[in-house]
């Protein structure tokens, strides 16, 4: 089975042009088939503010009203996505930039209103990802670059969490490829001491997760990230890595961040 690497990058890479340039160089150098998934960073918030549209957040999650949806679609699917594709082309990587609506690759459902109305936010299920379409693009020699905009199949675009998209894509593709999922963020990995980059936990097995939560090694926003990662592994993803974008070159040598195993 061929190997496929799925990498998700966040705003800390996107917001810094030098960091993004280096990351895309390292991404291009990775062997084998690849898919890149990205969020939006500060640009959508800054553009919205310049137009008098203030970002609304609840527990770190963006409320996507109709004005915000227009902004994030312009920024994620347009400015950021096409800038990345142009840079990858210049680096010899034949990339294609896509939303979930393109080729019906990611079909989401609008999040139901419970305690909070998140607006035009899309949730995914096990049938959301068109693995056959992604596979056909990879076989054509293309590198898909997916932004965080999905659709519901009934003309409505939706804003969907990029971490969630990355996990869902990895699970969907795991029946066709030996799939590894890489989350790139601002830390070197899971740290025993969040303020000390030298305390990276290099490997975590699913059986160790509860103990690491109990002793406080894994806490805060890292808990749902690891929970989602082990969910992906349980559904067929070969391995999940969490580490710093500017160290991606270490992935092939086995020294990148934290590796999560079954």
Please return the burial class of 90, using the count of CB atoms within 10 Å of its CB with bins 0-12, 13-18 and 19+: exposed
Please return the burial class of 25, using the count of CB atoms within 10 Å of its CB with bins 0-12, 13-18 and 19+: middle
Contact 51, 64 (CB under 8 A): no
Binding-site residues sit at: 40-41, 62, 159
Closest CA to 108 of 54, 58, 64, 59: 64
Cα end-to-end distance, the chain, whole Å: 19
- CB neighbour list of residue 35: distance below 8 Å, 6 or more residues apart: 4, 5, 6, 7, 134, 138, 143, 144, 145, 146, 169, 173
How many Å apart are CA 171 and CA 237, to the nearest integer?
6
- CA geometry: angle 251, 240, 174, nearest 5 deg: 110
How many Å apart are CA 98 and CA 194, to the nearest integer?
35
Binding-site residues for substrate sit at: 40-41, 62, 159
Contact 163, 68 (CB under 8 A): no
Task: Count CA atoms within 13 Å of residue 25 on its CB side.
Answer: 9
How many Å apart are CA 196 and CA 213, to the nearest integer?
18
Helix runs in 122-188, H state only: 131-139, 162-173
If you count them, how many residues does the chain have?
262
């Amino acid at each position: 089975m061929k190997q496929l690497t799925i990498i998700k990058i966040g705003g800390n890479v996107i917001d810094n042009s030098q960091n993004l340039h280096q990351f895309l160089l390292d991404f291009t150098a990775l062997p084998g088939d690849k898919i890149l998934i990205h969020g939006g960073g500060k640009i959508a918030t800054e553009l919205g503010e310049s137009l008098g549209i203030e970002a609304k957040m609840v527990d770190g999650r963006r409320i996507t009203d109709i004005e915000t949806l227009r902004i994030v679609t312009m920024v994620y699917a347009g400015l950021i996505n096409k800038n990345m594709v142009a840079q990858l082309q210049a680096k010899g990587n034949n990339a294609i930039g896509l939303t979930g609506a393109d080729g019906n690759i990611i079909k989401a459902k609008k999040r139901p209103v419970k305690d909070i109305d998140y607006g035009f936010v899309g949730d995914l299920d096990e049938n959301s990802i068109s693995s056959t379409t992604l596979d056909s693009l990879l076989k054509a020699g293309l590198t898909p670059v997916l932004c965080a905009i999905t659709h519901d199949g009934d003309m409505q675009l939706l804003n969907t969490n990029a971490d969630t998209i990355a996990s869902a894509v990895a699970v969907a593709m795991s029946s066709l490829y030996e799939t590894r999922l890489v989350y790139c963020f601002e830390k070197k990995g899971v740290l025993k001491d969040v303020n000390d980059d030298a305390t990276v936990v290099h490997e975590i097995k699913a059986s160790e997760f509860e103990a690491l939560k109990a002793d406080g090694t894994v806490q805060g926003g890292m808990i749902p990230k690891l929970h989602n990662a082990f969910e992906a592994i349980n559904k067929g993803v070969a391995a999940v890595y969490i580490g710093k974008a500017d160290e991606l070159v270490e992935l092939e040598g086995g020294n990148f961040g934290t590796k999560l195993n079954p």
